């Protein structure tokens, strides 16, 4: 289904634009018409009256008219409710299954941010309704992870210490002792002062979105699980070409991407330039169900940026961010990532101790 992926990314980008301009609160018909207008600006044909045959045991038993049909290839289902539910997902999958359409997009316009889910039909010869299940999804992980004795732990965190590199103008790192055994105290007691964005850290959405989740509100499960290291060395811009040879299923199965660039090789100094994401990449990744990216760079935006544009694009795509990793000794491939934040109430980020296991 790789041939649908770029089209899906364009639809998501158009839907994000519609939600950004209209916000929540309108009828589905308003969002449908607005999305048709926006897709037209992309040069895409979106039909609101396309009739699809519903088959049962290879016999046509009725018709189905989706909210929108894009380029006769993708079914779009729009919802104006405050959140997308499992029932909405089941409904969309059933529509695809009985019509033979390979890809569907479920779009939710009723919340503070656009919700979107990419769905595929069931691969069975006959129509069978989808029934919700409560079991969590199972992600493929390297076989050695099943045996604790065989774990190899790779520390991908940069050290924090007094004077360690930090973003220009942000709070420096200071680590000292307020009580010292050398001075006669019963124990050593340390004190740490720093920006929450010093060293290897995550950005909570609240960092770049005043309505975003704070550090203590983050879903920790997104920071634990299979992660794919992509060798991006020598690339000034991260584009879909970096993922050549990977299918949509590959990316969806390992929804965390870590970019290794080796562009920040001197850990004692703060760089002034570094590679950046192509501005179309967040939507492209989101269309493939990627939930988190990490970089061995200080930021997803450039040093002198004024608008945090790439942060905002990732936020709109619902992709979380980890920055300032140390991936110098990590080969491309799939690992298990563990990168948990401190429970900072109201925080906009947090230092993390990030590791890979394999």
Q: Which residues are catalytic?
A: 207
- With beta carbons less than 8 A apart as the criterion, state whether 82 and 119 touch: no
- With beta carbons less than 8 A apart as the criterion, state whether 97 and 121 touch: yes
Both tokens assigned to 301 = 């935006």
- With beta carbons less than 8 A apart as the criterion, state whether 76 and 104 touch: yes
Both tokens assigned to 1 = 């289904």
CA geometry: angle at 343 spanning 338 and 347, to 5°?
A: 110
The partner residues of 202 in beta bridges, in order of sequence, read 322, 350
Rounded to whole angstroms, the Cα distance separating 293 from 59 reads: 45
What DSSP designation does 82 have?
S
- With beta carbons less than 8 A apart as the criterion, state whether 358 and 335 touch: yes
What DSSP designation does 223 have?
G
Helix, strand, coil distribution of the chain in percent, nearest 5:
25, 25, 50
Q: Nearest Cα to 326, choosing from 274, 265, 284?
A: 265
Residue appearing with tokens 């656009």: 114
CA 2 to chain centre: 19
Q: Nearest Cα to 250, choosing from 231, 233, 223, 227?
A: 227
Cβ atoms within 10 Å, residue 162:
12
What DSSP designation does 264 have?
-
Exposed, middle or buried by CB within 10 Å (0-12, 13-18, 19+), for 135? Answer: exposed
What ranges in the chain are assigned the alpha helix state H?
2-22, 28-41, 86-99, 248-253, 281-286, 309-316
């Amino acid at each position: 289904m790789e041939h649908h992926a770029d089209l899906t990314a364009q639809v998501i980008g158009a839907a994000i634009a519609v939600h950004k301009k209209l916000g929540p609160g309108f009828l589905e018909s308003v969002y449908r018409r607005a999305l048709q207008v926006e897709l037209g600006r992309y040069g895409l044909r979106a039909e609101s009256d396309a009739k699809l045959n519903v088959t049962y045991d290879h016999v046509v038993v009725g018709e189905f008219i989706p909210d929108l049909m894009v380029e006769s290839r993708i079914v779009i289902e729009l919802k104006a409710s405050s959140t997308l539910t499992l029932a909405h997902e089941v409904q969309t999958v059933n529509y695809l299954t009985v019509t033979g359409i390979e890809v569907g997009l479920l779009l939710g316009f009723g919340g503070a941010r656009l919700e979107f889910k990419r769905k595929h039909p069931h691969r069975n010869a006959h129509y069978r309704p989808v029934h919700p299940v409560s079991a969590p999804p199972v992600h493929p992980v390297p076989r050695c992870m099943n045996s604790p004795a065989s774990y190899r732990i790779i520390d991908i965190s940069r050290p924090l210490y007094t004077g360690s590199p930090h973003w220009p103008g942000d709070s420096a790192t200071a680590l000292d002792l307020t009580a010292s055994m050398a001075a006669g105290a019963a124990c050593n007691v340390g004190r740490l002062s720093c920006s929450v964005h010093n060293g290897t850290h995550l950005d909570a959405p609240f960092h770049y979105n005043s309505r975003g989740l704070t550090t203590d509100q983050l879903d920790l499960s997104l920071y634990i699980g299979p992660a794919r290291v992509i060798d991006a060395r020598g690339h000034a811009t991260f584009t879909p070409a970096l993922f050549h040879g990977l299918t949509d299923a590959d990316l969806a199965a390992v929804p965390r991407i870590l970019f290794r660039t080796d562009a920040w090789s001197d850990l004692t100094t703060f760089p002034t330039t570094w590679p950046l994401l192509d501005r179309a990449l967040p939507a492209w990744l989101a269309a493939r169900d990627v939930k988190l990216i990490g970089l061995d760079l200080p930021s997803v935006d450039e040093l002198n940026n004024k608008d945090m544009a790439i942060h905002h694009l990732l936020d709109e795509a619902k992709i979380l961010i980890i920055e300032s990793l140390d991936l110098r000794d990590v080969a491309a491939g799939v690992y298990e990532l563990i990168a948990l934040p401190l429970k900072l109430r109201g925080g906009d980020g947090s230092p993390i101790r990030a590791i890979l296991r394999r």
